[in-house]
Amino acid sequence: MTPDQIPAATTPIPHSPHSVARPAIGGGRGGKRQPRRMPPRPNQALRPRSGSAKALPALESGNIRIIPLGGVEEVGKNMTAVEYEGDILVVDMGFTFPNDDTPGVDYIIPDATYLETNKHRIKGVIITHAHLDHIGGIPYIMPKIGNPPLYTTLLSAVMIKKRQEEFPQLPALDIQTIEPHQHLTLGHFKIRFFTVTHTIPDSFGVIIDTPYGNLIFTGDIKIDTKDNIPVESEFKTFEKLGKEKTLLLVAESTNVEKPGFSYPEREVQENLRQIIADVPGRIVIGTFASMFERIVYMVQASENLGKKVVIEGRSMRNNVEIAKELGILKVRKETIIPAEQIGDYPENKIVILATGAQGDEFAALMRMSTKEHKHVKLKKGDTILLSSSVIPGNEKSVQKLKDNLSRQGAKIIHYGIADVHSSGHSYQGELEWIHKMLKPKFFIPVHGHHSMLRVHADMAVRLGVEEKNAIVPDNGMVIEIADQGGRIFAHKETVSSKVVMVDGLGAGNVQEVVIRDRQALAQDGMFVIIAMVDLKTGQVRKSPDIISRGFIYLKESQDLLRQVRSQIKKVIEDSTRQMNPINFDYVKNAIREDVGKYLFQKTHKRPIILPVLIEV
C-alpha cells in the first residue's frame, strides 16, 4: 500500500506512547547518562490533539461516517462512533491501563469530546462484550454524553451493572438487554447481531444494514477450530453473512501478527482438566479474571473430579458469583470453600484459582509467592499452573513471581511448556478466513497499534480489497462512505483525540503538567529551598534550608549544598535590589532558573525545585 493511498493523519506520526522511547523510571540507571537538553522535552504521549481547527463538513444524506475514538493506536480503550442521517451510534466504551508515560494515573479513556458536543444525536450505545477494554469507560463517559440507552446481552448487562455499583453518585444507566438474534432499530440505524467466540460468554459482533450493504463490526473475536478448520457453527454464521453484501468490515487486529490459528480454548480446557486430575497435591491456578469461560470450566471440572475450589482475588470471585447467578455455572454449594478451610481436606482435593499471573503487586498469587498470604502457604508437592500469557511489559514481574514461587518448592507449569493458555483473539489464519468468508468492499482494521493495523490492511488487500478501500485509522479520524456506497475516504479534518486520564477520584481531567511533574519527580526527585527574606531590605536572614527527596544524598553532598546556599542568597539579594515592594513570584522564578542551571551543571540532573520564601 503506497502512502498516498492511505489518508494521512492531520497530526504527526509517531505519537503513540509506545513509539517513543520510554524514560527509565525507577531503574535503568546503569551507565552514565547523556546530559539532556535543558528545557524538558514535551511528553509526546501527552501532546494535545484537539482535532483540527477547521470544522468538519456536515454529513450529506446517504453518506455514512465511521469515527474510531479509541483502540486504533493502542490495544485497549475501544470506542467507535457511526453516523448516518444525523444519528449517532456508539460501539463499545472501554478503557486502558496507564504506562510509563502516565505515572500514577489509574486509567486512560477515549476522548469523548465529539460525542459530548453531539450528544443530542446519539441514539444508543452498543457493548459487544464485558471486558474492560470495551466497558471500562462507561462510568466516566456515559454521564457526559447524556446517558443514552445502552444495548448489550445479559451477562454483559449484569457485569456493567455490578461495576456501576462502585459509582453510586452517578445516574442509573438505561441498560436494554438484547438477544443476539434480535433486530434493533435506533433512529435511522437498522441493527442485527451475530454471536462470536471469545473468552467471555455472550460476546457478539454488530451488523448495521445500509441500502448499500452491511457494515460489520467483529468486536473481539476468535474462531473455534478443530485441526485448523473452523467448526460447523462458525462456518454457518459466516456463510450466512457472506451471502449478504459486506460493504464495510471493521475487524480487530490484536493477534494479526501471529501466524496460523490460535489454539482452541476447548483443547486448553481439556489439558487443564488433565493436569487438575493428575497433580499429586494441591494445585494453584493463576489466570486472568477476564478468562470467564475458562474459570467457569475449571470450577466445574474440579467438582467433577471430586475436588474443592478456593477462589482468591476479588474480580475472579465476582465473576464466579455472576456466573452462578445467571446459571452459567452450576455447582454444588459445598464445592467452593473459603481459603481458611484448606486444611480440612486432603491436599490432592484442593484447587485454588487465583488472580495475579502477571506478577501484579497486590494480587493473590503474588502474596502467596512472598509468603504474605494468610491461608495459603506454599510448599514442596504443590503445583502452580500459570494459565495465561505474559502481557508485553510484564516480563520482569512475571519472572520475579516465578522465582519466588519456585523458591518455595512448588512445581511451575506455564504456557511456555504446556498448552495451558490460549488467546481470545484471532490469529492470522482466522482473520484471513473471516475476510474470505465476508469479502468486504471496504475495510478498516481496529484494536491495535498502528503497525498492527497496517499489517491487517495489507492482508485485506492481499485477499481482494482494493488498496484505496482499506483505511488505516488514527483515533479521531473521520472516515466516510460516500456516493451510495461507491467510495470511502478519510477527511483531513479530525475530531478531538486527546489522552484522557482518570486519576484518583478525578475523572478525565488530569493536567499534563501534573503528569510531567510526576515524571520529573520519578526521574530526578525534588529540591526544596526555604529562605527567610527581609521585606524591607531584601536581605536573606540566616542560611537557607534545603530539603531534597530522590535527588542526591544530602549528607554526602555538603560541598554542593554550601555552594547552592550561597548562590541562593546571591540570587535573592541581586534580584531584590532596587525592588520595592518585592515581587516574590519573580524572585522564586529567578531561584528556580539559577539553581536549576547550577544543579544541572554539577549533577546532570534536573530535580523539581520548590522555593519557599518566608517574609520577615
Report which residue type is found at 497: S
The residue (of 446 and 471) whose beta carbon lies closer to Zn ion is 446
Only one of the segments 130-138, 366-374, 521-529, 606-614 lies at the binding site for Zn ion (rule: CB under 5 A); that segment is 130-138
Minimum gap (Å) between residue 115 Cβ and Zn ion: 22
To Zn ion, the closest distance from the beta carbon of 483 in angstroms equals 35
What does each C-alpha distance from 179 to 115, 150, 237, 431, 548 come to in angstroms? Answer: 26, 14, 16, 25, 61
Contact 363, 261 (CB under 8 A): no
- Name residues contacting Zn ion, limited to 376-405 (CB under 5 A): none
Least distance (Å) from Zn ion to the CB of residue 21?
29
Helix 154-164 crosses helix 314-325 at what angle (to 10 degrees)? 130
Residue written as grid cell 482494493: 466
Look at residues 566, 544, 547 and name the one whose alpha carbon lies nearest to residue 555.
547
Cell numbers for 561: 549544598
Beta pairing partners, 186? 189
Of the two residues 83 and 220, which places its CB atom closer to Zn ion in the complex? 220
User: How distant, in Å, are the alpha carbons of 552, 599, 612 from that of 565?
Assistant: 15, 12, 14
Over the window 303 to 342, marking each residue x when it contacts Zn ion by CB under 5 A and - when it does not, the resulting string is ----------------------------------------
Kindly state the smallest distance separating residue 391's Cβ from Zn ion, in Å.
14
- In whole angstroms, the minimum distance from the beta carbon of 134 to Zn ion comes to 6
**Nearer to Zn ion (CB atom), residue 11 or residue 290:** 290
337, amino acid identity: I
Kindly tell me which of 78 and 271 has the beta carbon lying closer to Zn ion.
78
Q: Closest separation between CB of residue 249 and Zn ion, Å?
A: 18
Only one of the segments 126-134, 431-439, 550-558, 589-597 lies at the binding site for Zn ion (rule: CB under 5 A); that segment is: 126-134
Q: Which helix (H) or strand (E) holds 545?
A: strand 540-549
Shortest distance, CB of residue 324 to Zn ion, whole angstroms?
Answer: 22
Taking CA atoms, 287 is separated from 97, 204, 373, in Å, by 18, 23, 17
For Zn ion, the closer CB: 203 or 237: 203
Nearer to Zn ion, 219 or 538 (CB): 219
Please report how the helices 265-278 and 292-304 are oriented relative to each other, as an axis angle in degrees rounded to 10.
40
Q: Applying CB under 5 A, which part among 163-171, 215-223, 529-537, 562-570 lies near Zn ion?
A: 215-223
Report the alpha-carbon distance of residue 390 to residue 181 in Å, rounded. Answer: 36
| 607-to-66, 115, 291, 544 alpha-carbon distances in Å | 45, 40, 43, 18
d(CA 506, CA 517) in angstroms, rounded, equals 17
Q: What is the CA angle 191-222-356, rounded to 5?
A: 115
3-state class (DSSP) for residue 89: strand
Question: Closest separation between CB of residue 116 and Zn ion, Å?
Answer: 26
Residues 531-570 that bind Zn ion (CB under 5 A): none
Binding marks (x or -) toward Zn ion, 217..236, rule CB under 5 A?
---x----------------
Q: Give CA–CA dist 422/297, Å, rounded.
A: 14
Where in 412-441 is the site for Zn ion (CB under 5 A)? none
For Zn ion, the closer CB: 94 or 473: 94
Do 544 and 530 contact (CB within 8 A), yes or no? yes
Span of 127-135, 209-217, 367-375, 446-454 interacting with Zn ion by CB under 5 A: 127-135
Q: Which stretch binds Zn ion (CB under 5 A): 26-34, 213-221, 390-398, 442-450?
A: 213-221
* Smallest separation (angstroms) from Zn ion to the CB of 595: 51
With CB under 5 A as the rule, give the number of residues binding Zn ion.
Answer: 2
Min dist CB 467 to Zn ion, Å, is: 30
How many other C-beta atoms can be found within 10 angstroms of the C-beta atom of residue 229?
12
Residue whose CB is less far from Zn ion, 423 or 603: 423
Q: Could you give the 3-state DSSP secondary structure of residue 492?
A: strand
Strand-strand pairing, 122-126 and 87-91: parallel
Nearer to Zn ion, 71 or 607 (CB): 71
Measured CA to CA, the distance from residue 81 to residue 61 in angstroms comes to 17
SS3 (DSSP) at 479: strand
Residue 131 engages Zn ion in binding (rule: CB under 5 A): yes
Binding segment (CB under 5 A) for Zn ion, from list 125-133, 207-215, 230-238, 352-360: 125-133
Closer to Zn ion at the Cβ: 131 or 498?
131
Q: Considering only 147-155, 214-222, 272-280, 371-379, which stretch makes contact with Zn ion by CB under 5 A?
A: 214-222
d(CA 409, CA 269): 26
Which strands make up the sheet holding 506-507, listed edge to edge? Answer: 107-109, 500-503, 506-507
Contact between 77 and Zn ion per CB under 5 A: no
Binding string to Zn ion for residues 170 to 209, with x set by CB under 5 A, is what? Answer: ----------------------------------------
CB of 151 to Zn ion, least distance (A): 17
Nearer residue to Zn ion within complex by CB, 84 or 107: 107
Q: Applying CB under 5 A, which residues contact Zn ion? A: 131, 220
